[in-house]
Structure 1
Amino acid sequence: MARFLLIHGSCHGAWCWPATIAALARLGHDARAIDLPAHGADRTPSADATLEGYARAIVAALDRPAILVGHSAGGYPVTLAAALAPDRVAGLVYLCAYVPAPGRSMIDLRRAGPRQPLAGVVRADPGGMTYSADPEGARATFYHDCPAPLVARALPRLCPEPIAPQATPLPEGTETPAPARHYILCEDDRTIPPEYQAEMARPFGPAVSRLSSGHSPFFTCPARLARLLDTITAQAPFPRP
């Protein structure tokens, strides 16, 4: 049995993970998800959201060691959480996620990508504190291969995304992920180009798996995602908490 804490990406919340949590439970694992500050049911004002605050919210949710699964933008806060509380993080799984680089924010990494599929899809809100995703653009980039009923429920739940945390590099010395780490590359991703995922995952060596999915495998194929996580965490160096 492994223990997982699932961390959402931009504009999402814990609401995107229930099918994956159920699929992991059927495989004998303990999994749960949280809302990062200013997302989902969390009422933190967007103006107060910080990258460190995200990481500390993750650490506060770890009553026992767990494997952190960070989706998309979640790659940054899970990496910082592992640096803040290495005794509570059993490993990291980056799910089509940004892998922090020294001195570079998540927005820096997105802009450095070989293609910009989110151009025109996400736009800064008045005041420049948050950005929001255009629903039709989100349908085409986040959810192009997802079941229509799930997409219809997801689109109204997308929240404004605080910009400051994504414009913040990790503190010096915390960018290197924990030794126990794995990357899941989504081969049909229309949000983070798969070839860019492969570039970010290159330092992981053989600890890279591929999933035939778009950017939201928690909707497209939660059972396959759970089986892949089961396989990954059964392999060294992931400990069983």
Structure 2
Amino acid sequence: MAEFLLIHGSCHGAWCWRDLIPALEARGHAARAIDLPGHGEDATPAGEVTLEAYAEAILGAIADPVVLVGHSMAGFPITAAAEKAPEKIARLVYLCAYVPAGGVSLVEMRQAAPRQPLLPALEKSADGLSFTARPEMAPGVFYHDCPEETVDWAVPRLCPQPVAPQATPLDVTQRSRALPRDYILCTDDRTIPPEYQATMTADWPAGAVHEMATGHSPFFADPEGLARLLDCIAEGS
């Protein structure tokens, strides 16, 4: 069975994997999640958070090679970790995530999308070092198809997202591209347009791109379905 390390997206923390971890464990896998610097219970100030720090936090949590799952913006840090130490990673899984194009930042990739559904829901901090998701708009962009009690539990846990990691270009080489990798495209995503997810994976083998009929948070909307799909993906590790 596989060992999964789960990496959250913008404004989230390890808490967002609450429902997926037991679903994976029920299938015999080991599954863990971490807070990236400046997220969840990690109190690193926003001004000190970097993409490099994200990658180091991921690698510091790995002993034996893992199936590394990155949600949304975590496509960048999981790729950065793979560039630094590919031997620690058995497989990369991008969950409705940005796939770094190489030489550009996440901000630049977001701007290249055909639509910007997330932008109206974001509010920048006074010092410009972070942004937050407006609580009244977060359910619509992140959780529109999730159970009401889950939405009520999740929204107060959203945290400021440091800007610097998302404004940092990442060089991408065969060190990460040569690893086994899969993409889970969410066809009802209201954060990263599904058509942009398709664009980012247009040159991937057909068998490496999977679809879920959910919004941006399948770990809440359909944790059993996501666990089932990850179980199938891990069989290819």
Matched, 1:218 2:211: no
User: CA separation in 2, counterparts of 1:175 and 1:99?
Assistant: 14
The structural deviation recorded for 1:87 is 1.1
The structural deviation recorded for 1:174 is 7.1
Structure 2 counterpart of 1:209: 210
Cα-to-partner distance string for 1:37-67 (whole Å, 9 max, x where unaligned): 0000011111110001000000000011101
Q: Percent identity?
A: 57
Cα-to-partner distance string for 1:118-168 (whole Å, 9 max, x where unaligned): 121112110100001011211111011111111111111100000000000
Cα-to-partner distance string for 1:49-104 (whole Å, 9 max, x where unaligned): 00010000000000111010000000000001011111111110000000001211
Matches within 5 A, 1:94-173: 94-171=94-171, 173=173
Q: Secondary structure at the match of 1:68?
A: strand
The structural deviation recorded for 1:179 is 2.5
The structural deviation recorded for 1:203 is 2.3
User: CA separation in 1, counterparts of 2:30 and 2:88?
Assistant: 15
2:141–2:216 contact (8 Å) kept in structure 1: yes
TM-score (structure 2 length as normaliser): 0.97
Q: Secondary structure at the match of 1:204?
A: coil
User: CA separation in 1, counterparts of 2:174 and 2:100?
Assistant: 9
TM-align CA RMSD: 1.2
User: CA separation in 2, counterparts of 1:196 and 1:217?
Assistant: 18
1:192–1:215 contact (8 Å) kept in structure 2: yes
Structure 1 counterpart of 2:12: 12
Structure 2 counterpart of 1:86: 86
Q: Secondary structure at the match of 1:165?
A: helix
TM-score (structure 1 length as normaliser): 0.95
Q: Secondary structure at the match of 2:6?
A: strand
1:188–1:212 contact (8 Å) kept in structure 2: yes
Unmatched runs of 5 consecutive residues or more in structure 2: none
